[in-house]
Amino acid sequence: MDILIPILFWSSILLSLALSVLGAVKGKYWLLLTGAVLFLPICYYFNGSPVFHGYFIYVPAFQVMGAAAVRQGRKVWAWLLLAPAFLTAIWFFTFATLNLVPE
């Protein structure tokens, strides 16, 4: 049972990033919105930590703003607004694989 939560979190992160990239490439804003919804649980989970309280909850908001940029036809802005989601995923992966715990 302990392995179920990381599997669900990692699969939602990867699916969220894949849908966001596909939405930015194809110009479909609803794919970015779906990606933001899939990224929300892991951000909400880390937002409860005293070290990160208040920061990670904004990452899906950047994806929603990227969806608005795609809807208006501004793909460059969409890619720039997707950068926090990619950086957060890279950060999660780095800390998970190196088993680092910030104090």
Closest alpha carbon to 30 in 60, 73, 64: 64
At 99, is the pLDDT very low, low, confident or very high (cuts 50, 70, 90)? confident
More confident residue, 23 or 42: 23
Residue 99 DSSP symbol? T
Instruction: Give the pLDDT confidence score for residue 101 in this predicted structure.
Output: 60
> Is the pTM higher than 0.75?
yes
3-state secondary structure of 13: helix
Residue 65 has pLDDT above 80, yes or no: yes
Residue 51 has pLDDT above 80, yes or no: no
